[in-house]
Chain A
Amino acid sequence: MSRETVEAAVSAAEKLNDTLNAFLFIDGEGAIKRAENSAGPLAGSPVAIKDNLCVIGMQTSCGSRILGDYHPPYNATVIQRLIDAGAIIIGKTNCDEFAMGSSNENSAFGPVSNPWDVTRVSGGSSGGSAAAVAAGIVPFALGSDTGGSVRQPASLCGVLGLKPTYGRNSRYGLVAFASSLDQVGVFARDVSDVARVLGVIAGRDPHDATTADTPVPNYLEYLTEDLKGLRIGFPPALFGKGLDEEVGKSVKDVVDVYRELGAEIVNIELPHAGYAIAVYYIIATAEASANLARFDGVRYGFRAEDAPELRQMYRKTREEGFGAEVKRRIMLGTYVLSAGYYDAYYRKAQQVRTLIKNDFLDAFKQCDAIITPTSPTPAFALGEKVDDPLAMYLNDIYTVTANLAGIPGLSVPCGLSSSRLPIGFQLLGPYWSEPTLLKLAHGYLEARPFTDRPPVRA
C-alpha cells in the first residue's frame, strides 16, 4: 500500500513540476525503494521538504546559487525524526533564497506557481511546500517560518500552515536565516496530519540549545474537544486599512462561526502591532547578515573564479552567488549593526519587540487565542511586487508578530475569493498552545469544511 502511495506522489510531483516548479529535487527511485519497508506512526507517508532543511543524500540549495547542489553530511533533527517515524521524503521544495521573501520569486531557480492560478504567486518563502500540499502531491510537507513563511503561503494556497512556539522544534539542520525568529513548520490539508507531524518532530534536541524541555502532548487527542467557553480575541484595529475587503469579510464570517460553536468573542488591542514590520526588518536582517557571513566560498558551495586574492574571492563569490533580495537584506543588516547605529536601530528594535511581546501577554489574560487574517490579500500576480521591496515586506504584517513574540500561529483556509483564490485566517495563541490552535482549526473545519480543490492538482 505505502509503495503505491509513494509512487503516486512521485509521479504527481514529476508531472506537475513543469507547471508549478514546486520541487527543486525529486528522489523518485530512492523514495519508492524506501517505501518498501517503512514502519512507524507515519509509515509510508510521502512528504516534501523545503530545500533549506538538511537531508542526507539530497541537495540543500536554499534556493540559492551560492549553495547550488550542496549535499549536507547530516540530517536535520526534524528530518531524522520524520524518517524514524516512517515518513518517505520524496524531494526538496522550491523556496525564496535563504527563505527571504513572500512570493517565492526570490528563488534562484524560478518562482513557484499557485495551483489555484498559475499566473499568481504561491506565497513565500516556503512556496514549493505549500503548492505541493495544495496540489495534492503530498499530504503534508515541512517549511520554515521566520516572519510568516509557512502561514502566508499556506493561506495563499488554501492549506493549513503551522508555525509552532519558538523552541518547540529543533532548528538543527535548518539553514539559519534569523536564529531568534526561525522555526520549522508544517503544511497539511487535514488538521489531524498537522497534529501527527508536529507530534513526531517536536521536542527537546541536545543539538539546539533553544529547544525547550516542555513535554510534547499527543496533539491528536485535543482535536475533537468542545469549543464551548473558549475565549477568542478579536483585534478590530487589524481589520482596517490595507486589508482586502473580501479577506476581511471572510475572516469576520469565521468569527461568527466560532460564536455559533459556543466560543466567546472578546475585543482586544495589540497597541504595538503596527510597528512589527519595522522591528522585524531590523532584527531579521541583522541576524541574517551575521548568519550568512559563512557563505564565503571556502568550505562548501560555489566559489567565484578569477579572484587571485582572498578578500577579492569572498566578495566576488558573494556578489555572484547571492541574489538581489539576499544582498539587500545583508546590506540592511550590516547597516543597522554598524558602529554608531547599533543602539538607534538594533537595540531600539529589540526594545519594541519586548513591547510587542507584552501586548500578547496582556491580551492572553483576556482570551485563549486571537484571530486575524493571515495575509492582507489573496495571491497576487507573479511580478506584481517584485521591484518594490517594502510593498513586498508589508505582506507579512499579520504574521511577523508571532515570530517576534515567539508564540505559535496557525493559518486555516476559510473559503475562496470571487476570483476563486483561497483566503486564510490566522489563529495565534500563548506559548505552547498548539493543542488549542489545532482544536480551534478542527472545530471550524468540521463546521465549514474547505472542500474546493485547485485546478492544477494530482
Chain B
Amino acid sequence: MVSGQCDTRQAAATEVFENGDESIEAKETARLKSEIRATRPAASTSNTSEDHLMPIKESDIEKVAQLAHLELAPEELKVFGPQIVEIVSYVEQLNELDTTNVEPAIGGFTPEGAATNSERNDQLVPSLGQQTALAEAPDAAAGHFRVPKVL
C-alpha cells in the first residue's frame, strides 16, 4: 500500500516531465523505486493520507527557482524537476506517522532543549571596520558595496 502510493506519485512525475530523455528517466525511476522500497520502514499506522500529495508541475519548479533566486537553464529544469519530485515523494513517508501531539524540535538551544544563556555585558567591542568589510567585495566603490541598478 505504501509503495503503491509512491508509484502513483512517480507516475505523475514522469508524466509531467515526459519531454525529457525517457530511457534515462525510466531507468532512474526504477532504481529509485527499489531504493525507496528497500529503505522505507514498515508503515506504523494505516494513516497514509493522500492529502499532501499534490503533483509538482514544471511551473512549480520554475516558481521555486524564482523564489530561490536561481536562474535555471531549461536543461537543468528537466533534470531537477523529476529528481525533486522523487525526493519529495520519498520524504512523504513521514505522513505514515501520527504526530498529532508531538512538539516540533524547534527552539531548544542546548541538546537537552534548555535555552543557553547568551547574555553579555553591554560593552563596545571592535568591529571589522569598513576597509576590511569591503576588502572581498566584487565591486566596492566610495566605501560602499556597488550593485547594478535596482529599477
Q: Give the distance to chain A from B79, nearest Cβ to Cβ, in Å.
A: 8
Residues of B63-106 at the interface with A, using a CB-CB cut-off of 8 Å, are 64-65, 67-73, 76, 79-80, 83-84, 86-88, 90-95, 97, 99, 102-106
Whole-angstrom CA separation of A354 from B87 in the bound complex: 22
Residue of B nearest to A333 (CB): B68
In the complex, the answer to whether A209 meets B116 with C-beta atoms within 8 Å is: yes
Task: Digitize A28-46: 1 where CB-to-B-CB distance is under 8 Å, 0 elsewhere.
Answer: 0000000000000000000
Q: Give the distance to chain A from B106, nearest Cβ to Cβ, in Å.
A: 5
**Which A residues touch B132, using CB under 8 A?**
73
Partner of B99, one of A328, A351, A397: A351
Residues of B94-123 at the interface with A, using a CB-CB cut-off of 8 Å, are 94-95, 97, 99, 102-106, 109-112, 116-118, 120
In the complex, the answer to whether B93 meets A275 with C-beta atoms within 8 Å is: yes
Task: Digitize A265-279: 1 where CB-to-B-CB distance is under 8 Å, 0 elsewhere.
Answer: 000000111110111
Q: Which of A220-228, A311-319, A363-371, A445-453 binds B? A: A311-319
User: B7 interface residue, CB < 8 Å from A?
Assistant: no
In the complex, the answer to whether A327 meets B39 with C-beta atoms within 8 Å is: no
Q: Give the distance to chain A from B43, nearest Cβ to Cβ, in Å.
A: 10
Q: Give the distance to chain A from B116, nearest Cβ to Cβ, in Å.
A: 6
Q: Give the distance to chain B from A361, nearest Cβ to Cβ, in Å.
A: 10
Whole-angstrom CA separation of A438 from B70 in the bound complex: 44
Contact of A242 with B136 at beta-carbon distance under 8 Å, contacts A351-B99, A355-B99 already known:
no
User: B44 interface residue, CB < 8 Å from A?
Assistant: yes
**Which B residues touch A390, using CB under 8 A?**
32, 35-36, 83, 86-87, 90
In the complex, the answer to whether A327 meets B136 with C-beta atoms within 8 Å is: no
Contact of A275 with B94 at beta-carbon distance under 8 Å, contacts A213-B117, A298-B145, A301-B138 already known:
yes
User: A303 interface residue, CB < 8 Å from B?
Assistant: yes
Residue of B nearest to A393 (CB): B87
Task: Digitize B110-151: 1 where CB-to-A-CB distance is under 8 Å, 0 elsewhere.
Answer: 111000111010000000100011011111000001011110
Residue of B nearest to A274 (CB): B41
Residue of A nearest to B66 (CB): A315
In the complex, the answer to whether A331 meets B105 with C-beta atoms within 8 Å is: no
In the complex, the answer to whether B39 meets A242 with C-beta atoms within 8 Å is: yes
Give the number of residues in B that approach A within 8 Å (Cβ atoms): 65
Residues of A101-148 at the interface with B, using a CB-CB cut-off of 8 Å, are none
Residue of A nearest to B145 (CB): A298
Partner of A348, one of B39, B88, B99, B145: B99
User: B1 interface residue, CB < 8 Å from A?
Assistant: no
Contact of A274 with B39 at beta-carbon distance under 8 Å, contacts A281-B87, A348-B99, A389-B87 already known:
yes
Contact of A431 with B111 at beta-carbon distance under 8 Å, contacts A297-B138, A331-B80 already known:
yes
Partner of B65, one of A71, A309, A331: A331
Whole-angstrom CA separation of A307 from B148 in the bound complex: 7
Residues of A268-312 at the interface with B, using a CB-CB cut-off of 8 Å, are 271-275, 277-279, 281-282, 289, 293, 296-303, 307-312
Q: Give the distance to chain A from B27, nearest Cβ to Cβ, in Å.
A: 10
User: A1 interface residue, CB < 8 Å from B?
Assistant: no
Whole-angstrom CA separation of A209 from B114 in the bound complex: 12
Partner of B148, one of A209, A213, A312, A331: A312
Whole-angstrom CA separation of A307 from B69 in the bound complex: 14
In the complex, the answer to whether B137 meets A354 with C-beta atoms within 8 Å is: no
In the complex, the answer to whether A354 meets B145 with C-beta atoms within 8 Å is: no
Q: Give the distance to chain A from B20, nearest Cβ to Cβ, in Å.
A: 13
User: A22 interface residue, CB < 8 Å from B?
Assistant: no
Whole-angstrom CA separation of A273 from B93 in the bound complex: 13
In the complex, the answer to whether A277 meets B104 with C-beta atoms within 8 Å is: no
Whole-angstrom CA separation of A127 from B109 in the bound complex: 29
Task: Digitize A366-397: 1 where CB-to-B-CB distance is under 8 Å, 0 elsewhere.
Answer: 00000000000000000000011111011001
Whole-angstrom CA separation of A277 from B32 in the bound complex: 14
Partner of A299, one of B32, B110, B111, B137: B137
Whole-angstrom CA separation of A277 from B94 in the bound complex: 10
12 CB < 8 A contacts A-B: A70-B136, A278-B94, A282-B94, A300-B136, A307-B148, A309-B150, A318-B69, A331-B65, A334-B64, A334-B68, A350-B104, A390-B87
Query: What are the 6 closest A-B residue pairs judged by CB atoms, nearest first?
Result: A274-B41, A350-B104, A406-B111, A315-B71, A303-B138, A351-B99
- A residues contacting B by CB (< 8 A) are 70-71, 73-74, 165-167, 206, 209-213, 241-242, 271-275, 277-279, 281-282, 289, 293, 296-303, 307-316, 318-319, 322, 324, 327-328, 330-332, 334-336, 338, 344-345, 347-355, 357, 387-391, 393-394, 397, 404-407, 431
13 other A-B residue contacts (CB within 8 Å) besides A300-B136, A347-B104: A70-B136, A73-B128, A73-B136, A165-B111, A212-B111, A303-B138, A307-B148, A308-B149, A309-B149, A315-B71, A319-B70, A319-B72, A352-B94
